[in-house]
């Protein structure tokens, strides 16, 4: 009898993720808007958002170690319950004279919790689904994350306009509580790993083991990881910096139209998750480099309209369509890459390896954004040069990826190693 993707445990995991991530995203955005209202300072608004992301980047590897050392189900239950408790405590201090600092503290705490929470979720997926469904399962998780990123701020802004902050905090508290209750019923196989040293030694040893596995034991994993980081560094960062510059500065269009274009980034990621089940029937990790190449090709129309004197709305439509196709293509490759890394990683190392991969990928974003900030200033009158640069890099990455994966032609994706 053929197994199904949405077995009970995976279904509960996805539902819990939807509730928890949306509750988190809505609350975080509402809290930042509250700071903006209280202080009237865009600097405070932006600073709190930026600072609250730092713990996620720095502590995710530790979260990965935790995910391999502790029952992942218990991690998710405890952290969702902890977020609910933090919300309850925060309700007692809303309206305080030091509310800005308290909001910053809450958002940092949430960021720390997320750094521990996400590795547990990501490393649970290959354990909860059969190997033939792993691509689709990763696609579903990618859709949930993209939807929370896309709709969370929109819903947060709407709720904040209609309700006061206390009501939003109460709703988020309930969401975290429901998520924790659902996660209690998830059964995730767990084998305890022995270690006789102290906690610090354990963390250092585990992270060294994960780094050694990626760089020495299975170098193809490291090469695939570098490709994903390279895509974020040279491609995703270009769109993040380039979209506002092209639409607001070069084309002189409104912030509303820019907002719509920005949402295309998330919609492209959602489309990748939806399409992965279809494309996996004809493509595999061995020939997934095609989607990197396609992502570069569909950027060509952006280079053309940014170098010609065309009607702003025509250029806008071309930019939006190309961005959507590009994000969907690269998103499909990213799901293939994530699935490949999971299948090559022993079960006992899934948490720390996935966390290290995520940290390296996240670090590529600020580097890329800094690079393209300089490039857009330097070539402000020749934006097409920057887009062409991104296209060339993406094509080169596709060629390198093909070379990396040639040796896998005779090697199918394995089930997760024991």
State the DSSP string of 97-150: TTHHHHHHHHHHHHHHHHHHHHHHHHHHHHHHS-GGGHHHHHHHHHHHHHHHHH
Which whole-number Å values give the CA distances from 165 to 50, 149, 338, in the listed order?
21, 20, 37
Give the pLDDT band (50/70/90) at residue 43. low
Task: Give pLDDT, residue 410.
Answer: 45
Confidence grade of residue 358 (pLDDT, cut at 50, 70, 90): confident
pLDDT of residue 414: 45
Mean pLDDT value across residues 372-381: 84
Say yes or no to pLDDT of 413 above 60. Answer: no
Lowest-pLDDT choice from 61-65, 152-156, 208-212: 152-156
Residue in this structure with the two tokens 């493509």, named with its chain if needed = 283
pLDDT at 270 over 70: yes
- Mean pLDDT on 332-354: 89
pLDDT of 418 above 60: no
Q: In the prediction, which pLDDT does 307 show?
A: 86
pLDDT attached to residue 47: 67
Q: Read off the DSSP letter of residue 33.
A: H
Of 412 and 91, which is predicted with more confidence?
91
Per-residue pLDDT averaged across 222-231, rounded? 89
For residues 124 and 126, give the distance between their C-alpha atoms in angstroms, rounded to a whole number. Answer: 6
Distances (CA, A) of 239 to 63, 242, 290: 30, 5, 20
Residues 397, 408: Cα–Cα separation, whole Å: 17
Q: Identify the band that residue 293 occupies on the pLDDT scale cut at 50, 70 and 90.
A: very high
Q: Give the residue-averaged pLDDT of 115-140.
A: 89
Q: Read off the pLDDT of residues 194-216 as tens digits, 9 standing for 90 and up.
A: 777 777 888 888 888 888 888 88
* H or E element that contains 219: helix 219-231
Which of 148, 31, 12, 151 has its CA nearest to residue 101? Answer: 31
In this prediction, residue 415 carries a pLDDT of: 45
49 has a pLDDT exceeding 80:
no
Taking residues 218-244, report their average pLDDT.
86
Pick from 5, 276, 4: nearest CA to 135: 276
Provide the pLDDT for residue 412: 47
Between residues 194 and 283, the one the model is more confident about: 283
196 vs 102, more confident? 102
Residues 6+ apart with CB under 8 A from 268: 323, 324, 325, 326, 327, 328, 331
Q: Is the pTM of this model over 0.75?
A: yes
Listed range (70-79, 153-162, 285-294) with the worst mean pLDDT: 153-162
Predicted pLDDT of residue 198: 77
Pair of tokens at residue 97: 């004279």
Give the gyration radius of the chain's Cα atoms. 22
**What's the distance, Cα to Cα, between the start and end of the chain in Å?**
24
Q: How confident is the model at residue 46 (pLDDT cuts 50, 70, 90)?
A: low
Q: What angle do CA 183, 189, 194 make, to 5 degrees?
A: 115
For residue 398, give both structure tokens.
């596709």
Whether the predicted pLDDT of 416 surpasses 70: no
Structure confidence at residue 391 (pLDDT): 92
Instruction: Kindly give, in sequence order, each residue whose CB lies less than 8 Å from that of residue 319, ignoring residues fewer than 6 positions away.
Output: 243, 246, 247, 261, 302, 305
pLDDT band at 44; cut points 50, 70, 90 = low
Lowest mean pLDDT across 42-56, 215-229, 339-353, 366-380: 42-56
Task: Tell me the C-alpha distance between 110 and 56, whole Å.
Answer: 9
d(CA 167, CA 324) in angstroms, rounded, equals 35
């Amino acid at each position: 009898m053929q197994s199904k993707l949405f077995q009970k445990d995976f279904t509960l995991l996805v539902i819990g993720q939807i509730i928890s991530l949306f509750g988190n995203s809505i609350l975080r955005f509402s809290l930042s808007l509250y700071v903006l209202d209280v202080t009237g300072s865009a600097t405070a608004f932006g600073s709190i958002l930026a600072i609250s992301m730092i713990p996620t980047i720095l502590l995710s590897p530790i979260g990965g170690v935790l995910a391999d050392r502790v029952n992942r189900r218990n991690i998710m239950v405890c952290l969702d319950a902890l977020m609910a408790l933090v919300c309850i405590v925060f309700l007692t201090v809303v309206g305080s004279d030091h509310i800005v600092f308290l909001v910053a503290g809450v958002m940092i705490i949430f960021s720390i919790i997320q750094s521990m929470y996400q590795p547990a979720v990501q490393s649970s997926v290959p354990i909860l689904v059969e190997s033939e469904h792993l691509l689709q399962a990763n696609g579903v998780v990618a859709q949930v994350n993209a939807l929370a990123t896309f709709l969370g701020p929109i819903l947060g802004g709407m709720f904040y306009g209609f309700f006061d902050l206390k009501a939003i905090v109460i709703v988020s508290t309930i969401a975290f509580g429901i998520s924790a209750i659902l996660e209690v019923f998830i059964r995730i196989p767990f084998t305890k790993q022995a270690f006789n040293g102290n906690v610090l030694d354990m963390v250092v040893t585990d992270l060294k083991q994960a780094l050694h596995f990626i760089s020495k034991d299975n170098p193809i994993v490291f090469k695939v990881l570098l490709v994903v980081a390279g895509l974020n560094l040279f491609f995703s960062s270009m769109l993040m910096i380039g979209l506002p510059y092209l639409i607001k500065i070069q084309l002189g269009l409104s912030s509303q139209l820019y907002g719509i274009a920005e949402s295309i980034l998330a919609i492209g990621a959602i489309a990748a998750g939806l399409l992965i089940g279809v494309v996996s029937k004809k493509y595999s990790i061995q020939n997934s480099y095609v989607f990197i190449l396609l992502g570069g090709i569909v950027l060509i129309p952006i280079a053309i309209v940014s170098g010609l004197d065309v009607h702003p709305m025509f250029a806008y439509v071309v930019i939006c369509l190309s961005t959507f196709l590009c994000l969907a293509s690269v998103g499909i490759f990213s799901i293939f890459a994530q699935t490949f890394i999971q299948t090559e990683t022993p079960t006992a190392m899934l948490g720390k390896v996935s966390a290290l991969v995520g940290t390296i990928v996240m670090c590529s974003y600020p580097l890329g954004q800094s690079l393209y900030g300089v490039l857009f200033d330097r070539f402000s009158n020749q934006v097409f040069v920057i887009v062409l640069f991104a296209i060339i890099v993406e094509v080169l990455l596709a060629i390198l990826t093909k070379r990396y994966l040639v040796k896998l032609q005779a090697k199918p994706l394995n089930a997760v190693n024991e």
